[in-house]
Amino acid sequence: MLKASNIQKSYGNLSILKGVDFTIGKGEIVSIVGASGAGKSTLLHIIGTLDRADKGELYIDDIAIHKLSAKELSAFRNKYIGFVFQFHHLLPEFTALENVCIPAYIAGTKTDVAEKKAMELLDLLGVSERANHKPSQLSGGEQQRVSVARALINNPKIILADEPSGNLDSENAAALHKLFFDLRKSMGHTFVIVTHNEDLANISDRTIHMKDGNIY
Ligand code: ADP
Ligand code: ADP
């Protein structure tokens, strides 16, 4: 599903990723762990095509990501990748349903089709009764479920998450982790998750350890 070789990235003179190699199979749930500053977020951004490596090759589903133009990259990203962040980044002035629909609208989906799909996802994630609430009216766990629904609306193959349970209490964190495994089982998603949560790292199929821009 995903193959990276010799990925290098520097900011100015500072080498952040020093030639990273890994492969991730379809339907795998992989955690990336390591100390703050190790380069985890930078690597996740490169896998997510939000950022480009200076050097190295990245293939996703045999597509040579490192060869795509900026325009091709953004089309690829919309279709293939869903993002979940530590802070949900829901837009406060829109309802849960509207927030979930936004990536679909950006991809050109019609309103009624997007709303139907968004309601199905909110239902799947157990927050359909919150569809018309604004983010401020939702609990932290509910907000994160809405943000997962938003990540899923364009049917991505890969979900990338940066500290998805970092802002949740242990009960909501466990529920979110279970959700990831349920989604993998029902829809076959591949998950790459940067996390400090030991429970999540322990239940993952595999853990990638990062230190000072290298993988162990
Ligand atoms: P981690 O996610 O493991 O904490 P990051 O990938 O966020 O690590 O950051 C690794 C290093 O790269 C840090 O020293 C960080 O300050 C630096 N860094 C990340 N993004 C940038 C950027 N856009 N410009 C300059 N330095 C950056
Ligand atoms: P997180 O830890 O939640 O991944 P960060 O605070 O590390 O978030 O980074 C947030 C954003 O700022 C990222 O896009 C990262 O690339 C960028 N960034 C991180 N460190 C630096 C830095 N030293 N200079 C510029 N941008 C940075």
Reading the chain (216 residues) residue by residue, the pLDDT tens digits are: 999 999 999 999 999 999 999 999 999 999 999 999 999 999 999 999 999 999 999 999 999 999 999 999 998 998 899 999 888 789 999 999 999 999 999 989 999 999 999 999 999 888 999 999 999 999 999 999 999 999 999 999 999 999 999 988 899 899 899 999 999 999 899 999 999 999 999 999 999 999 999 999
Tokens 């604004």 locate to 134
Q: Is the CB of 43 under 6 A from ligand 2?
A: no
What pLDDT score was predicted for residue 85? 87
Which residues 6+ apart lie within 8 Å of 126 measured at CB?
Answer: 145
* 125 contact partners, CB below 8 Å, separation of at least 6: 145, 146, 148, 149, 179
Residue 86: the pLDDT is: 84
* pLDDT score of 209: 96
User: Is the minimum distance from the CB of 162 to ligand 2 under 6 angstroms?
Assistant: yes
Q: What is the pTM of this model?
A: 0.87
Tell which one of 7, 8, 10, 11 to mutate to probe ligand 1, the residue whose CB is within 8 A of the most ligand atoms: 11
Q: What atom of ligand 1 comes closest to residue 45's alpha carbon? A: 6
Residue with CA closest to ligand 2 atom 16: 42
CB 41 less than 6 A from any atom of ligand 2: yes
How much is the pLDDT for 203? 96
CA of 88 to the centre of ligand 1 (A): 20
How far apart CA 207 and CA 211 sit, in angstroms, is 13
Please tell me the distance from the alpha carbon of residue 184 to that of residue 27, in angstroms, as a whole number.
6
Give kind and range of the element (H or E) at residue 60. strand 55-60
Q: Distance between CA atoms of 76 and 92, rounded to whole angstroms?
A: 27
